[in-house]
Amino acid sequence: MRHWLRIRSLICVFLAAGLALCSVAANAQSYPSKPITIIVPFGPGSGTDIITRIIGLRLGTVFNQSVIVENKPGANGTIAANLVARAAPDGYTLFMSTNTPHSAAPSLMKTINYDPVKDFVALSRVGSFTQMLLVHPSIPAKSIPELIAHAKANPGKLSFASGNASSVVAGQTLKSWAGLDMLHVPYRSAPPAVQDVLGGRVSMLFTDLSTGLPHHRSGALRGLATTRLVRSSLLPELPTLDESGVKGFDMDSWAGLFAPANTPRNVVTRLNTELRKIIETPEVKQQIAATGFEAFSSSTQELDEFVKAQLVKWTRMIKEAGIQPE
């Protein structure tokens, strides 16, 4: 009798597991059957927000479902990352992440409540940002050497804003490399940081081309340098930091889409397929390029390997910049 009861219990367990698997498979096959939310770790009007809305609009058309973009700025993107890491792994909550929450936050923060590798499944690269240094017109410098000389002649009088990890690391690297006495003023996102530089309340900031290029072109702010080893095709007149004396400085700020870990493989594959088609569409590439962002896609494995490599790179850059976790 006891033997039969054990057998019956095992049969019930197997049936329950089978039903659960069938339910997951059915959900994956009917995906998507309701609106999808893409969480953005920065505020409205940021470069990441802009490209998310461009891609989200196309994704909604393909899926015949609403795609909602939800901004959750703050704490170096960790607020948004925590939210997605704990969301249901069903493909209805996605994360437009960047190097800020995925590569830099583990070294910038004393503690984070998520694992950038284990708590997410990669969907596709979206592309990369070039960062530029902008100064208020009241700063007389027209080059990095002139800026350094001006800062040294006015110790403690200049400040730099930051709206994400890239701007923090670039600003602190310049400060540390040149031995400058400058105040760091952090913001939750790039747009409010730019506004305070425009208003002369902060002296300068590093920001992505999507956010900074219009102000440089209008003359409201003055661009001095970009952060990659090679000059930007959108700003060929600006030298790189490496050319300007900060030798070897090469910052590639990136963006990619993720879902919570354990999202069904069928859903991940479907999302990767559709996202790659959207991102590689010439019209979309051109639309995104106009914002100062270079769009390109990847396989899920390529993004997963890239994330692991970027963790190593950003940990090194943050250490070399002398930044202490907060």
pLDDT of 229-275, one tens digit each?
A: 999 888 899 999 999 998 888 888 899 999 999 999 999 999 999 99
Q: State the CB neighbour count (10 A cutoff) for residue 196.
A: 17
Q: What is the pLDDT of residue 59?
A: 98
pLDDT at 24: 46
Q: How far apart are CA 210 and CA 61, in angstroms?
A: 25
Number of neighbouring beta carbons within 10 Å of residue 269? 13
Residues in Cβ contact with 187 at an 8 Å cutoff, skipping those fewer than 6 apart: 161, 162, 163, 193, 196
Residue 9, pLDDT score: 53
Per-residue model confidence as pLDDT tens digits over 38-67: 999 999 988 899 999 999 999 999 999 999
Here the tokens at position 65 are: 């479902």
All domains of the chain in start order, with CATH: 34-129+252-320 (3.40.190.150), 131-226 (3.40.190.10)
pLDDT of residue 130: 87
**CB distance 227 to 132 below 8 Å:** yes
Rounded Cα gap, residues 43 and 237, in angstroms: 29
Q: Confirm if 66 and 42 have CB atoms less than 8 A apart.
A: no
Which residues of the chain carry a pLDDT beneath 50? 1-5, 10-15, 17-26
- Altogether, the residues listed in the chain come to a count of 326
